[in-house]
Structure 1
Amino acid sequence: MGNSISEFSWVGSQENFVDLITVNNIKHVSIGRFGGNSLEGQYKNEDGCLIWIDEKVNWEFTVILDAHHSAESAELVLEQFSKRKLDIQLILSLPYEQTLKNIEGTIVNLFQEDAFLTACRKVKGETACLIVLRKDKYVWWFSIGDCISYVFHPELANRGQYQINQRQFYEWVGLVNTFDQIVPCYSSGIRELRKGTNCIFLTTDGLIECPNEPFSSPKEIYNVMRRHQIDEGVNKLLQSIKRNSVKDSTTIISWEVNITKEVARPSDE
């Protein structure tokens, strides 16, 4: 099973990309990173991300992290995914209806593991964490905190619909940890993609909380992405926030999926 899977993992404490924009590819998935402007006082990067792709079974599993106070909590989350990699990838290899039924419980268990909770109590700071899985014509997401994901498609854009998850403040994993409470708080869901080309887009909040707010509206991000190839679009977005003197680091993961299957349409069409 593992042979057909491409993997990538990074945290900003390894390489911070302050003053530097980089756009790389893992197969068909683009990863854009900008560590923020040193002129605005930035000197570290506390973002992180994880990407697993299986082109044979046809899925992408992505995690994006935005830590604060230090990158330790993001490092710990990535370590936990690495430990549970075989369990998760086994579920991802199942038929899509079984994957989508079982994935949420698996992720909740991963965050509630005793050894992980104990380790979280010892780190400096905490992290937002957003997980997005695309399998078949569906997108499943699991969100803790304020990272953002979008699906860009003309049919949805015509109705003003872009965002997948809603940002939630005061939710984290780490020293302050929603999974260390009696009832953990997170949001999750499943969406059917539209027929044709869908662009899936994840970002940390540096992109939308930039001075002059060039991308505070999802429509502005959509307009850039639809005019360019994925890599070029991601690069344009990062160049724009760099020019607008953003301090915060920004990490973007984006890729396109072409859906040929039938999807839900209104009955009176």
Structure 2
Amino acid sequence: MANVQQFLDILEDSAPSALAAGWDNVGLLVGSPHSNVNAVLLGLDPTLALITEAKVLAADLIITHHPAIFHPLKCLRTDQPGSAFLAAALRAGISVISCHTNFDAAPGGVSDTLADALGLMATAPLAADKADPCCGTGRIGSLPEPLSAEDFLAKLRAALPLPWLLEAGPRPEAVARAAVCGGSCADLAETALAVGADVFITAEVKHHTARWAEEAGLWLLDGGHFATENPSMSRLRQQLAERTRQAGLNVRIHLAAQESPLRLVPQNFLKE
């Protein structure tokens, strides 16, 4: 019988907690390391719907990317989002692990998933970890051959399930090197330009960063937080399935069918 500690060990080996940002909160957030695990449910976000799905699948461990506890708790109000998730997990006897910025920075994590989807070669971190330069936030790499901006957009649309795409800055004549960083990484835009990126794909680009890109000459693409991070959850499922098989653990690994909380307003509404 597998237990929570074995999954903590597997995650520590593939995405060490030392890679997590100092402000982050990763690891076991609900439950005991000694609790048994028959099935695991993976999801990007800790939502009440995830608890419901875990019950249906008889999953006794949930692993999310975004932490169920991020800011220090001052109370546990079960009538409010966040706290309601924690209370529901406790009532159901479901353990909860977060694998957040450590999975962003780890080999085979969020940024590598994006880089691989675009076929980038000879990739390196945008912001390398001081202790392990092979790890770090974001990735930059070269395309097999330069593409026009229009062809690069077509490649991006084919590679990622993007519900929308915002752009700032001038489109280059050719894209030879691309930088990627899933989630809120717009603060790495200057780094991407400094290391020779023709385009930088990330999410949640702020107004002043878009203006900077316009002036600095960097093509900046915002594909949304969910869309740039969620594909990596499928890869995490594959990693966990392989590691549990190698360890001889008979544990089912499920992937939640989550969708972005943001959606586009219909065009006909905007024309009225």
Please state which band the TM-score falls in when normalised by the shorter chain: under 0.3
Higher Cα Rg, which structure: 2
Higher strand share: 1
Structure (1 or 2) with the greater helix fraction: 2
Q: Compute the TM-score of the two structures, normalised by the length of structure 2.
A: 0.23
Higher relative contact order (CA 8 A, sep 6+): 1
The normalised TM-score by structure 1 is 0.23
